[in-house]
Structure 1
Amino acid sequence: MNDSALFCSRELPSYPSYIFVERIIFCTSLVVNSVTIYCILFRSPSYVGNYKYFLLYHVIGSSLLDLQISGFLLPVVLVSYLSAYSLGFLNFIPSSILTVIGFASCGLVIITSVLLFAYRHYQVIPSFHAHQLSKKKKIFGIILLHLFIMTSLPYVGWAHNKQEGYKARIRQANLRVF
């Protein structure tokens, strides 16, 4: 048996300074995002119109992603293995569910960014232009965009579970070596 194996620990490091910095970022982003939502709801001028709600949707989606990364998930990425583990408030949840939550949040930010761009695009082009869609087609497009992200989430969970199986086999092989 290798003597160096006796001194190796299988515990995951906790990085207290990283956690402290991320908690400061979490509190700061909570305050900044709350002020942003307040300004959109109560301080935006009347000519903003319906764009206010698309902007609010985007800010809420971005805030959720920001708060998840800096507080709830707090990922520690292991770049050499393309893997990560969580140090956040939600570290008791299985990693496959955390992966789906993280990808869903990223998908929400992508959806809201596309919606903001599309809304501004339709405001700029004239109403008689060929690219101008009817209200039904716009709603249909928004639903399709959300469905596209939601249907990709089961694949993310499946791929993560498959990786867990591979990691278990590698661990078993490494235990047999020592």
Structure 2
Amino acid sequence: MPVISRLLSIPLRIAEIAFAAVVVGIIGHYLASFDSIDPWPQARWIYTEVIGGLSILLGLIWLIPFSSGFFSWPLDVLISFAWFAAFGILVDAIHHLPCGSIWSWEFRGDSVCARWKAAEAFSFLSAILWLVSALVGIWFTFRKRDTTAEATTTRRRWGRSRKVDAAATA
């Protein structure tokens, strides 16, 4: 079973890194171009930048194939909630623009609305991917183990095994 969870985990981490990079690029462009606006919108965008940067960093670290990466699922849930908050911040910011519905994700072209819609869409999708990654980690951590193999053979130090009577272990 660890093979299946690893095969699921690697594409999820790559997609999380890519989606966070898209959001960081778009919001970073706006932060660089608007330096004389009210500090409150900049604080929201800086929060989104920090969450995106943290997602890229953690995604790269947890992309390294160790099984201990599956035990980081509480942080995956936390990052997912942070992405949902960033999505809410972007929805609130785009609400003041004449861009239409927040669920109308038509982000073709080079307009302001298209860029905001792209940042909004990728932040929502990133939140979903981090949540799915947490579910994979939970599944890996708490999956059902084969109890019959554990009852007949126990492992001693350095990988040597010995036979044990099933009645003696009960």
Length-normalised TM-score, structure 2: 0.41
Work out which structure has the larger RCO, using CA pairs closer than 8 Å and 6 or more positions apart in sequence. Answer: 2
